Structure 1
Amino acid sequence: MDSDQITGVFGKVSGLPVPVAAHVREEQQPEARIYTVTAEWIQSDLVRCSRFRFSQQWTLIADSNNHRSIRTILPPGPCAPVSGELLSDISPNQGLRAVVRETGSQQLLEIWDHHGLRKCLNLSALNNHGRVYDDAQFGCLSWSECETKLLYVAEGSRSSSGEPGESTSRKDRSVYCEEWGEALTSKSVPVLCVVDLLHGAVGVLQGVPPDVSPGQALWAPGAHSVFFVGWYHEPFRLGLKFCSNRRSALFRLSLDGRCECISEDNVSVSCPRLSPDGSTLIYLQGRVFGPHNQCHSVQQLDLKSWKTSTMLDVVSRPQDGEFAGVYEALPSHCWSADGQKVVFSSAVRNWKDVFMVDRRTKKVTSLSDTPPLPAESYFPNTPLASSSHLRHEHQRELEELSDLSKVYGSWKLLTVQRDLMVVCCSSPSSPPTLRVGFLPSADCETVTWRTLQAPFMTFDYLWTVLNVTPSSEEDNITYPGLDFGAVLVKPSRPACESKTPLVVSIHGGPHSQFPAEWNSTSAGLVELGFAVLMVNYRGSTGFGQDSILSLIGQIGSQDVKDVQRAVTAALQSDKTLDPKRLAVIGGSHGGFLSCHLIGQYPDFYRACAARNPVINAATLLGTSDIVDWRYTSAGFQFSYDSIPTAENLAVMLQKSPITYAAMIKAPVLLMLGGKDRRVSPHQGLELYKVLKSRGSPVRYTRST
């Protein structure tokens, strides 16, 4: 294929939309109960080199006597682009919708009702604060119970926060102002803001401790105070993106400025979620420092007694088929209507699933209808009718397809409201499907799932999940007996009679996961005739806290050996794969492992593509926004006043792929981001210069 054909393939697979948010509205009619489901999707456009959002709406009609039985799903209306919306939220009584919208350099707050635009405030012109935060780390938009106030987070100015912010005078602009690292470089001094809709006034709440940056705020019952998560930023800020190990606490702040900490000290907290009756607040809790992502506990705070208890504890080592712990953020709406159950998504080995926990019994139940799948069994996708055809005549027939069409490797909860769950399901061969189902009742323990939107197209790929056990020599002495996994995807029909070349794909993190879900990069490679092996080495999420901890101090060794063992296991179990045509790809820590593999096994791999790879942990120490991880990953304790020693630097260097650079034979493509705060582009440049000086084939591309 020429470059235009390859671009066309990737344009096709990356242009398929993915649902990212949903909302449910309920209305009782004399003869039926009506549910309106609104979903937001994100879609890539290679022509504009950008991604855009659009919304779509469905009407579900349930029986009046049995509102958990969906009688009819009406065809959805046309998709509508979501233009300029940064944040939005529906009021408690569902009659109003608040939107923070960006138009040019202005940020507006709009209030919409059933008759149109009711109110619009120009937040930029009011000049009470800087830009409104719309990120998942700090951002929020929360209605008060009385529907007369709105709460959000914005960048503070000197007048509102007492620290240099966006509105600093010109003479102070040369003074260094700390930011919150990768993907949060415009965030420095967040403040809590309240809009009084009756008077059209915006105020900044006072009383937040000066050593704390607030975010993820919501109204407390009664609307006289707010809850928020505060991240401690003294003595200096560390990167927050993908790092759930930052010291933080849960606070309650009254509108008159009285603030109290209501969680433990020296822990990491996130995702406060208030029960529908306002009696209980739950949140995630984890360790400070150590692995930057980890298994969390779910804490519940009784707002009457102010006593905290553990709803779900950290899972150290799950058994086969057991719940493996909580590794992901809770959705903004996660409570059952009666306030007795909490619903969430989480990783389980090489999968993702939707779970429900009963807060009284603490029993955890899987809510997906995917049957248990044995490892090393291939599952082809069952072709589906077009989505437009399904809308009209064959909605029920879609539910009655063979079990093979129901083999979703990934289930993600978008929301649960009025006990109706909206989920996104996908597999390596099937792009996301939007489904709905009611929480199980006392009379029925299973969920009847209905499909709202099937993918526009599916793909004829074979995929399987591999379970891999390290050899006795590769076992971790401190955490023995751990295994790991991988997901293998390949064309159902090879492009020719020869064996299929294999691309080994390695996730970054390292504490993240490759679930058996739709992955446009992998799909594009399979479309081009490659097989793709996505490896979840020890340290990946979904395998328990022991697996995560096992990688501390073992980077560059245990993770490298795990990937290599997964590749040899795949080659041994599938003789259609070509052992003489192997490539490896990865970004960040995945790039670190990719470059390790071509250096430690120089005759094994034929090509490497690395995106923002960690090449030399010793030289990265002073440039990364997560300097704590550089110490932890090498097996050292971190403190804010840590000064690198010769021993620290020697160990970091010894664990880095730069030490194997002279052994590299495979051609290397380095893709470096000029603004990356986590892994400086100088890391890749360091390897580029070594390979270039030795005459090794290398290409360097850089984005600004």
Structure 2
Amino acid sequence: MVTDSEEIAGIYREISKFPIPLKGFIGPQVTLKHRGQYCIIYTEWSQRDLERAERVKLCREYIVFYDDNSIVHTSPSGKCTELRDELLNRDSPSGTLKAVLRGRTNKKGEEQQYLEIDCSYPQIWSKTSKEKSINLTALDKHGKVYEDDQFGRLVWSHSETHILYIAEKKRPKVESFFQHNSELDVNEEDGDGNRAERCQKPVKGDEFVYWEDWGEGLVNKNTPVLCILDIESDKISILEGVPEHVSPGQAIWAPKDTGIIFVGWWHMPWRLGLKYCTNRKSALYCVDLIGNECQQISSGINSVHSPRLSPDQRHIIYLEGGNVRTHHQCYSLSLYNLDKKVTSTVVKIVDYPTVDGFTGIYSSTLAQNCWATDSQRVVIDTAQGSRKDLIVVNSATGIVTSLTTGSEAGSWTLLDIHQDLMVVSCSSPNCPPNLKVGVLPAAGQEQGITWLALDEAEPLPGIEWKILAFTPPFEQENPKFPDLPFEGILLIPGQKKGVKPPLVVNPHGGPNSVFVASWMLLPVALCRLGYTVLLVNYRGSSGFGQASIRSLPGNIGSQDVKDVQYAVDSVLKEGCVDSEKVLLIGGSHGGFIGCHLIGQYPGLYKAFATRNPVINLASKLGTTDIPDHTMVQAGFDFAPNLLPTPSVLTALLSKSPITHVSRARTPVLIMLGEKDKRVHPTQGLELYHALRARDVPVRLLWYPDDNHSLSKVGTEADVFMNVALWFAFALDITTAA
């Protein structure tokens, strides 16, 4: 086992250098004289730069030659280059143009946003000029353009004459009650393109009015508006007709560019945290561009997300939640017929795995392009147990077929599909992501797909992995949801004969998220240090059926804790790890479980490292951006207009790990993000003070510029080093004792 800090840092540097694919785009197809074809595949990657303490974005192109339904040859095209200042980009439908949103700082230190139109694939179109660059900040039609994964997007119209994007609504200027000689704010052009004569004075006394945002990871995102840029005239229009009680996002163009289809999230009773929360009350809308009339397409009863228009522009598919109020769940796949204006369900919510092993759809988002050329089949990547598979769904028959069952890779992600040519990313716990291409076979023959690598990443030597299946003992069965198995992913380091490695146990957060067998920096790096790592997907995790998810609310602090402990006991019984060197790590709800474990099973875990843990459900209720999550997971309905009763607060406290802290003896490392709006850092401070008062060894790390995910490059590196050294120190004390 590695314990030297320099050697630990070297291993982390080695593992963190592997880039992660972000997107792929299949360019225009070119037909050769001998009737063969080729295309350029543009890809973007993210890589950690430890020296600059930032993630750099890289791009690389590949050329793919294919004939009929088979790929003949692939190779890289040009060098891998770094993208600078790019916030968003999107190729036009034909692939001839590219829209790029850039962010730059001017000489005055002011951030400026520009929208550029470039020519794509100059090697095909023999054109390399920049068509135009528009300073969006100077036009002052709206606030900052959204670039986040939730709202941010650039969408070309089908005619390639307009670009749709989403920005913060322009706010009125404000000033102090005591400010004089106010400058007048002249409004922009009116509907006819003429300068309006109306003037607006700044609003006095509104300098410090609170603007509610969408919570963790979406700070300062308050009122998004749909913006349309006319490429010829450079005119920007703010789309009217969007209902005032919703925030629009995930927008696409309607057929023939007659309107905009979007998801609208309800504001009322207030903006609850939206990131990682696909259960938010929402509906699918369409607003026409002529009369600005808005039509609600979906019922609005349940949550919806990821609308995608079919190539023939006759159907929209989207994901729709059920009546479960957990923040992540199994989704149905809905189909809206634009001609008949009728909605049907293609794939229903799956309570228990089907006979053929299908567990349902759990995607938080669909690929931008996911339709096959026949406008009938849809390709989706989704968790299936502890793997992420590619499935193809026939929207006419509802038949679901796996494209990756039995593959050696544990995780598959669709990046793009065009003319049935697919580019995908795949990885495993011991193998970094690599890209593959394949041609989707005809309907009914999908299982015969052949994948060809664009680049080949080799598995790391000395690391093996496997998926473990667990069946809870009879006394731990959930009476309402019996016969629910769960799983774990075990990473095993290379080891000397006769030497048993320490075990690091890691339950995931969420709690309705899931570990899939993919490339993950922290577990891989720990395994390279010599630890066996157990990732536990306890009952309630996504990917195992809706019944599993429904089993957890009301049972947190009990069912999830017992599942993790049962998984640990099962691994220890195998005798492949050192039972005297068991360690624990977990963040958010994983920290909640970990804090329960060190209190309920004192003496077993030699050290615990936790990131932004949930400690006290009662005190968390008033400090989180998702109070509904706290209530629902504890087994109560969330009523925003009602205060929790004393009995509810008592129940919340009884399920909290803080009630077991008096029994804890495990040394604890706590890591907190000051800007965390999901689990306020006062939760971790509560644990810190409780442990110190009881003379339990504890160390607190405070990251002032990070939030719940602790995902900044510098933070990630510091977290890993401190965790590794905390574990090494604890085991050194154990060995000495």
TM-score scaled by structure 2? Answer: 0.87
**Match runs of 1:199-348 below 5 Å:** 199-255=233-289, 256-287=291-322, 290-319=325-354, 321-328=356-363, 329-348=365-384
Q: Is the 8 A contact 1:158 1:168 kept in 2?
A: no
Letter in structure 2 aligned against 1:547: S
Aligned in 2, Cα 1:169/1:184: closer, same or farther, shift over 3 Å? farther
The Cα shift of 1:438 comes to: 0.8
2:167 paired with 1:154: yes
The alignment of Structure 1 onto Structure 2 pairs a total of residues equal to 658
Report the secondary structure of 2:560's partner residue. helix
Report the secondary structure of 1:659's partner residue. helix
Q: Is the 8 A contact 1:327 1:542 kept in 2?
A: yes
2:679 counterpart residue number? 679
Tell me, in whole angstroms, the C-alpha distance in 1 between the residues paired with 2:384 and 2:356: 9
Report the secondary structure of 1:619's partner residue. helix
Tell me, in whole angstroms, the C-alpha distance in 2 between the residues paired with 1:443 and 1:546: 30
Tell me, in whole angstroms, the C-alpha distance in 2 between the residues paired with 1:319 and 1:221: 36
The Cα shift of 1:224 comes to: 2.0
2:30 paired with 1:27: yes
Give the unaligned 5+ runs of structure 2.
106-110, 120-126, 174-200, 705-737
1:401 counterpart residue number? none
Tell me, in whole angstroms, the C-alpha distance in 2 between the residues paired with 1:605 and 1:168: 60
The alignment's C-alpha RMSD in Å is 1.6
The Cα shift of 1:639 comes to: 1.9
Aligned in 2, Cα 1:443/1:347: closer, same or farther, shift over 3 Å? closer
The Cα shift of 1:54 comes to: 0.5
The Cα shift of 1:29 comes to: 2.6
CA deviation profile, 1:517-575 (whole Å, cap 9, x unmatched): 111111111111100000000000100000001001000000000000011111123x2
Tell me, in whole angstroms, the C-alpha distance in 2 between the residues paired with 1:173 and 1:648: 38
CA deviation profile, 1:98-153 (whole Å, cap 9, x unmatched): 11111121111100113320011111100000111111211221111111111111
Aligned in 2, Cα 1:442/1:175: closer, same or farther, shift over 3 Å? closer
Q: Is the 8 A contact 1:24 1:418 kept in 2?
A: no
Letter in structure 2 aligned against 1:505: N
1:164 counterpart residue number? none
Q: Is the 8 A contact 2:495 2:501 kept in 1?
A: no
The Cα shift of 1:173 comes to: 2.7
Tell me, in whole angstroms, the C-alpha distance in 1 between the residues paired with 2:204 and 2:521: 46
Report the secondary structure of 2:244's partner residue. coil
Tell me, in whole angstroms, the C-alpha distance in 1 between the residues paired with 2:462 and 2:337: 51
User: Which deviates the most, 618-627 or 635-644?
Assistant: 635-644
- Residue identity over aligned pairs, in percent, reads 45
Tell me, in whole angstroms, the C-alpha distance in 1 between the residues paired with 2:244 and 2:269: 12
**Match runs of 1:499-510 below 5 Å:** 499-510=500-511
The Cα shift of 1:169 comes to: 5.6
Letter in structure 2 aligned against 1:37: I
2:87 paired with 1:52: no
The Cα shift of 1:603 comes to: 1.6
CA deviation profile, 1:17-54 (whole Å, cap 9, x unmatched): 11111000122232221121111111112222211111
1:688 counterpart residue number? 688
2:45 counterpart residue number? 41
Q: Is the 8 A contact 2:494 2:530 kept in 1?
A: no
1:132 counterpart residue number? 145
Report the secondary structure of 1:699's partner residue. strand
Tell me, in whole angstroms, the C-alpha distance in 2 between the residues paired with 1:106 and 1:149: 22
Letter in structure 1 aligned against 2:252: L
1:111 counterpart residue number? 117
2:480 counterpart residue number? 478
Report the secondary structure of 1:551's partner residue. coil
The Cα shift of 1:76 comes to: 3.3
Tell me, in whole angstroms, the C-alpha distance in 2 between the residues paired with 1:43 and 1:212: 36
Q: Is the 8 A contact 1:505 1:585 kept in 2?
A: yes
Tell me, in whole angstroms, the C-alpha distance in 2 between the residues paired with 1:604 and 1:635: 29
The Cα shift of 1:490 comes to: 1.2
2:494 paired with 1:488: no
Q: Is the 8 A contact 1:247 1:288 kept in 2?
A: no
1:591 counterpart residue number? 591
1:197 counterpart residue number? 231
Report the secondary structure of 2:581's partner residue. strand
In structure 1, which of residues 122, 125, 129 is the aligned counterpart of residue 135 of structure 2?
Answer: 122
1:174 counterpart residue number? 208
1:100 counterpart residue number? 101
Letter in structure 2 aligned against 1:89: R
2:17 counterpart residue number? 15
Tell me, in whole angstroms, the C-alpha distance in 1 between the residues paired with 2:534 and 2:341: 49
Tell me, in whole angstroms, the C-alpha distance in 1 between the residues paired with 2:486 and 2:589: 17
CA deviation profile, 1:337-380 (whole Å, cap 9, x unmatched): 12110001000111110000111221111111x52xxxxxxxxx
Tell me, in whole angstroms, the C-alpha distance in 2 between the residues paired with 1:665 and 1:471: 28
Report the secondary structure of 2:76's partner residue. coil
2:401 counterpart residue number? 365
Letter in structure 2 aligned against 1:477: P
CA deviation profile, 1:312-353 (whole Å, cap 9, x unmatched): 110101046521111111111100012110001000111110
Tell me, in whole angstroms, the C-alpha distance in 1 between the residues paired with 2:112 and 2:691: 48
Report the secondary structure of 1:606's partner residue. strand
1:439 counterpart residue number? 440
CA deviation profile, 1:83-106 (whole Å, cap 9, x unmatched): 121111111222111111111211
1:403 counterpart residue number? none
**Match runs of 1:386-535 below 5 Å:** 407-442=408-443, 444-445=445-446, 446-455=448-457, 458-494=460-496, 497-535=498-536
